[in-house]
Structure 1
């Protein structure tokens, strides 16, 4: 029995996703909940579990295709009609809009090519079989082929299960240009292949996925919330010595202790004294929402772009738990496995620009939040200490806040509290 699987609603009000990869091919037998592919929303890469047990009969969209919620992306031959009627989506949010309903997303013309299934043919039993083929490769290989002007449709893959490898593309490019240094002749499928151009002066990359979402969010934030940024340069020598002592303690074995760990704890404590920094301006309801919890966002630079996952209820964590959560959060973000839920619901954010050797900046607020703290690099700097000039470890803190929610005094005192704890962690006992 033929069963079609439509792109589910992945939550957060997102209406489309890009197919990142398929982990199955036409003809493969799959089990219920087996991971069959990955899709990228504007916020995260999400794994798709199979809603059926059966045989893959069609894959209708190639990797790189942007698909609307509710579009068919894969089809299966399942055992019985009852299973075909029961779509199981155990780890996804909702199933998306019915294309026949008035609430279905409006389709728009695309420039992204989807693969068209081969015309259906009846089997010996009279049952219609749907077939589809696609060039199976990875995103880097597809980019290489695109840059070289090679159509993957004409290549045969030498990798596992026929996947097209980087070497397949390079070998084809080399063979194609040996006979004619000027241009590449017609391929067996009569599709012309362009020789690589020399002296290219510009490259164009589609704006999509995380980069598109973050660009829209930053523009909205910058032109909606009136930003104010304040700076504070502090001597953090005692704070760095404190962290070094913690690293030698058995209680902190196995976790990474960094200035970000101490700053995160300082932010949580300072929010307890100045809750306006942990609030939200609800324009629709004309209300100020003050959060009684701290979902602490940490800006992470990843190959997919800037992500700001957050640690839920960080106010309940001790220093060791906070350090462990920070390590797990950043590692997950860099591996591209951050779930959408971890990217939503943040209340205050930290960005650690010091890891790039930067001293200070004017960070833009994460949309919906009242404040963001930037940590500068820790540098050995001549500094006044006990009436003399000495080499000390110095850091600049940059705090941006929404001036609708936070006035100058609140912002200044909040930043001063963080600086005090970074300078002398013992101040945490006084400022609680």
Structure 2
């Protein structure tokens, strides 16, 4: 490592979760010229799971912030450079390319002023990125502008193109369209494949080859034109709904949620079962628990008892608490329950989980639920709190929804949807009476949970909520 590399250190975007590949820079807390110390938070980033503050692991003076706020950066990419020895003065410019590096396509020598200006910022380890050795193909110059080969060139002298072989049988001249061009664009098979790979319609390409043949360069030029058109804002026509539409980039939590839901929906064969249950006794118990001194100051609501009912059902049917290991072709049964609670936040849906929820008392579970919901609403949920879940509850009832077909959280085997509790006519003790009724829906992965097991779990949850005394007799 050179002295310059030792002096100017780079802080790279770390993997702050489990296998995350990118993060968005939400806010910088420092600027070039600021002094930073080991452990000081320099920025806040949003991963696919949560917003996280990043501390820098060394001392120095901020030399450069590599990316603006709002930029999504791949893990492992340098995001900030720090001068760890600011008293050493200016660093030496970057060294010239070593012998043997590709220079054949280098441009003509620039004026000295331009050359200095282009070099002075390119210090070792930071600054402008070195040119890639992969160069885009250059368009051929017209024949009149091509330079003749030098005598020392090893390439053989150009030969006149061989005449095309005569066709096996007479063919009609190519059909022309209204513009005088062949109805079917003329191009060699490799060029047609290139156009297909780049998504270019050969009908739209202007040929430059002899006899109207489309060349590779023509296809590349068309692709560049299409890309430029995509990047150039287009004025909306007068008939468009100007000012009445909003476009928001899909990134961060919402992007990760979308990808996870698609993967789950098209990987795990979902089965959803429903049950409607009288929860009048449960709602009465909730009211009583709110007055219990043991639960004073804690969040007591119907979701608390739904969670406890699901934990009881898992204890009675432990095989529901498992995951499918595709790589090893194994079912992994888990002797602990990390209970996920789907939470809607300003940044999108997240699913933090309560670790070892099955081992908690009712007051401990109430405390954990309250903390989980509060942290999620404030946007302070950490990646660790959203990792390792085993089964999830989604409370759609808070939105007035009766039921749904929830998608299983990736890596889990089941998810329980808790619908709205409504006063409905219900047959109770042989008479029709108004009762508090709700609908439960359980989606499960049919690769490892068959209909019998899924039905037993859902029936047990319903039974506990119908007669909450079973929380004692079944515990």
What TM-score do the two structures reach when normalised by structure 2?
0.65
Following superposition, the deviation at residue 31 of structure 1 comes to 2.8
Map 1:6-405 onto structure 2 (within 5 A).
6-79=12-85, 199-405=242-448
SS in 2 for 1:425: coil
Following superposition, the deviation at residue 131 of structure 1 comes to 10
| Pair 1:5-2:11 in alignment | yes
- Indicate conservation of the 8 Å contact 1:6/1:72, yes or no: yes
Aligned residue-pair number: 331
Following superposition, the deviation at residue 269 of structure 1 comes to 1.0
SS in 2 for 1:267: helix
- Indicate conservation of the 8 Å contact 1:119/1:131, yes or no: no
- Indicate conservation of the 8 Å contact 2:48/2:256, yes or no: yes
Partners of 1:263 and 1:74 in 2: how far apart?
47
Deviations 1:282-331 (A, max 9, x none): 11111111100001011001111110111111111011111111111111
Q: Could you say which structure has the larger radius of gyration?
A: 2
Following superposition, the deviation at residue 365 of structure 1 comes to 0.5
- Indicate conservation of the 8 Å contact 2:8/2:83, yes or no: yes
SS in 2 for 1:292: coil
Partners of 1:386 and 1:198 in 2: how far apart?
59
What TM-score do the two structures reach when normalised by structure 1?
0.72
SS in 2 for 1:377: coil
SS in 2 for 1:382: strand
How has the CA–CA distance of structure 1 residues 119 and 21 changed in structure 2, closer, same or farther, with 3 Å as cutoff?
farther
Structure 2 unaligned residues grouped into runs of 5+: 1-6, 88-116, 129-234
| Pair 1:430-2:473 in alignment | yes
Partners of 2:361 and 2:17 in 1: how far apart?
32
Partners of 1:390 and 1:407 in 2: how far apart?
36
Deviations 1:156-192 (A, max 9, x none): xxxxxxxxxxxxxxxxxxxxxxxxxxxxxxxxxxxxx
Structure 1 unaligned residues grouped into runs of 5+: 82-117, 133-193
Partners of 1:280 and 1:236 in 2: how far apart?
30
How has the CA–CA distance of structure 1 residues 120 and 52 changed in structure 2, closer, same or farther, with 3 Å as cutoff?
farther
SS in 2 for 1:224: coil
Deviations 1:114-139 (A, max 9, x none): xxxx98979xxxx99x999xxxxxxx
Following superposition, the deviation at residue 80 of structure 1 comes to 8.4
Partners of 1:11 and 1:390 in 2: how far apart?
52
SS in 1 for 2:336: coil
Following superposition, the deviation at residue 390 of structure 1 comes to 1.6
- Indicate conservation of the 8 Å contact 1:349/1:372, yes or no: yes
Alignment RMSD (CA, Å): 2.7
Partners of 1:393 and 1:232 in 2: how far apart?
14
Following superposition, the deviation at residue 376 of structure 1 comes to 0.5
- Indicate conservation of the 8 Å contact 1:348/1:371, yes or no: yes
How has the CA–CA distance of structure 1 residues 255 and 79 changed in structure 2, closer, same or farther, with 3 Å as cutoff?
farther
- Indicate conservation of the 8 Å contact 1:3/1:75, yes or no: yes
Following superposition, the deviation at residue 202 of structure 1 comes to 3.2
Partners of 2:20 and 2:445 in 1: how far apart?
26
SS in 1 for 2:266: helix
Partners of 2:309 and 2:288 in 1: how far apart?
18
Following superposition, the deviation at residue 272 of structure 1 comes to 1.0
1:407 matched to which residue of 2? Answer: 450
2:205 matched to which residue of 1? Answer: none
